[in-house]
C-alpha cells in the first residue's frame, strides 16, 4: 500500500457491491494511498427501486450504509455515506411514470426527508440533491429548484452539508444565496463534478489535471472527486477509484503541497466538520 504522507479523500463516488466492483474499488483506492471516501447512494432506479413514497428510498440508503460499513474495514481512514435523491429522478417520474411536476416534487422531497433521518441519527454525513443538467420544461425546472431548496432547509436544520448535482457552471451564486436564505452557509453547499473555479458553493473538482491545476492556482477551498459510477455496463464512465490518489501524488510532485492540504484536510473540516487526520487509524 502506497503512503502519500497526507489524508486522501475522494469526495464523491458510488459503490455498488451487488452489480459493480464494490469493495474491490475501495481496495484499489486504498492500495494507491487513498484514505477517506464520501460514498453517495446510486440513483434509486439503478438499484431497481421505483419509489412511490419517501420510505421507498430506504433500501437505496441502506445499501450505501452497508457498503460504507464494509469499506471502513479496508480504509486506513474511513468512509461516510452521503444520502439523497438524484435530480434526474424527476424526469423518470414525469416522462415515464406520468407524475405531474408537482407530484414529482413532493415525492422527491419526501425522499430527502427520509435521507435526513439518517443524518439526524448520525448514520450519514450529508445530503445530496440538485437539479437536472439537461434541458427540461419550465415546470420541471421550477419543481427541481423547489426540491433543492428543500434540501437546503434540511441541511440548515441538521447543520450538515448538501452535495449538488447540477448543470455545468462557473457561477452558482444564486443557488448559494438560496441556501443562505434558509440558514445553510454557502460553503456547506458542494457542487459535485465542478471545474477548477466556482462562484458560490464549494467546488468538488473532477480529478482531471487541468481542472486541478486551476483549482490549485486559485488558492480557494476545494475538494477532489472521481464520480466513479461502479457500473459494469459503463466501465470507462467518469474516473476510476485510483484517480484521486494518483492525482494527489501528481500535485505533490508539482509542488502543490498547500493545495493538497486544502483539498484533503482544511476543506473537509470546513464543509463537513470531519477531521481526516484524526480519523487515520494506521
Rounded to two decimals, what is the model's pTM? 0.97
Q: Residue range 27-48: average pLDDT?
A: 97
Judge whether 164 and 191 are in contact, CB under 8 Å.
yes
pLDDT of residue 244: 98
Query: Residues 216-240: what's their mean pLDDT?
Result: 90
28-53: average pLDDT? 97
Of 61, 6, 3, 29, give the one whose Cα is nearest residue 243: 29
Q: Can you give the pLDDT at residue 67? A: 98
Decide: 73 and 67 in contact? Cβ < 8 Å. Answer: no
Instruction: Report pLDDT digits (tens) over 81-139.
Output: 999 999 999 999 999 999 999 999 999 999 999 999 999 999 999 999 999 999 999 99
Q: What does the pLDDT look like over 143-195, one tens digit per residue?
A: 999 999 999 999 999 999 999 999 999 999 999 999 999 999 999 999 999 99
Question: For the chain, what is the mean pLDDT?
Answer: 96
| pLDDT range class, residue 3, cuts 50, 70, 90 | confident
Is the pLDDT at 243 greater than 80, yes or no? Answer: yes
pLDDT at 234: 80
Question: Which pLDDT value is given to residue 233?
Answer: 82
Nearest to 116 by CA among 127, 106, 108: 127
Distance, in Å, from the CA atom of 91 to the CA atom of 97, rounded to the nearest integer, reads 9
- Strand (E) or helix (H) holding 245: helix 243-253
Query: Rounded to whole angstroms, what are the CA distances from 10 to 13, 99, 114, 210, 228?
Result: 7, 35, 25, 18, 10
Residue 236 pLDDT greater than 70, yes or no? no
Identify the pLDDT of residue 230. 92
Residue 237: per-residue pLDDT: 74
Look at residue 1 in the predicted model and tell me its pLDDT.
Answer: 63
Q: Which domains does the chain have, with CATH numbers?
A: 9-272 (3.20.20.140)
Cell 439537461 locates to 134
Amino acid at each position: 500500500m502506497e503512503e502519500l504522507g497526507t489524508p486522501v479523500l475522494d469526495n464523491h463516488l458510488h459503490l455498488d457491491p451487488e452489480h459493480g466492483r464494490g469493495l474491490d474499488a475501495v481496495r484499489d483506492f486504498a492500495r494507491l494511498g487513498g484514505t477517506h471516501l464520501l460514498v453517495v447512494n446510486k440513483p434509486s432506479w439503478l438499484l431497481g427501486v421505483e419509489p412511490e413514497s419517501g420510505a421507498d428510498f430506504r433500501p437505496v440508503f441502506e445499501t450505501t450504509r452497508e457498503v460504507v460499513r464494509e469499506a471502513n474495514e479496508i480504509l486506513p481512514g474511513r468512509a461516510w455515506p452521503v444520502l439523497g435523491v438524484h435530480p434526474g429522478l424527476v424526469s423518470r417520474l414525469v416522462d415515464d411514470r406520468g407524475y405531474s411536476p408537482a407530484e414529482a416534487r413532493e415525492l422527491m422531497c419526501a425522499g430527502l426527508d427520509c435521507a435526513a433521518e439518517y443524518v439526524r441519527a448520525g448514520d450519514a454525513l450529508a445530503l445530496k440533491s440538485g437539479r437536472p443538467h439537461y434541458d427540461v420544461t419550465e415546470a420541471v425546472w421550477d419543481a427541481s429548484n423547489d426540491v433543492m431548496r428543500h434540501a437546503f432547509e434540511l441541511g440548515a436544520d441538521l447543520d450538515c452539508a448538501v452535495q449538488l448535482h447540477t448543470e455545468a457552471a462557473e457561477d452558482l451564486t444564486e443557488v448559494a444565496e438560496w441556501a443562505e436564505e434558509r440558514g445553510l452557509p454557502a460553503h456547506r453547499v458542494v457542487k459535485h463534478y465542478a471545474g477548477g473555479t466556482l462562484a458560490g458553493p464549494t467546488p468538488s473538482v473532477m480529478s482531471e489535471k487541468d481542472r486541478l491545476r486551476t483549482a490549485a492556482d486559485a488558492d480557494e477551498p476545494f475538494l477532489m472527486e472521481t464520480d466513479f459510477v461502479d457500473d459494469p455496463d459503463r466501465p470507462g464512465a467518469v474516473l476510476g477509484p485510483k484517480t484521486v490518489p494518483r492525482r494527489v501524488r501528481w500535485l505533490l510532485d508539482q509542488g502543490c503541497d498547500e493545495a493538497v492540504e486544502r483539498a484533503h484536510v482544511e476543506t473537509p473540516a470546513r464543509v463537513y466538520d470531519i477531521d481526516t487526520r484524526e480519523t487515520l487509524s494506521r
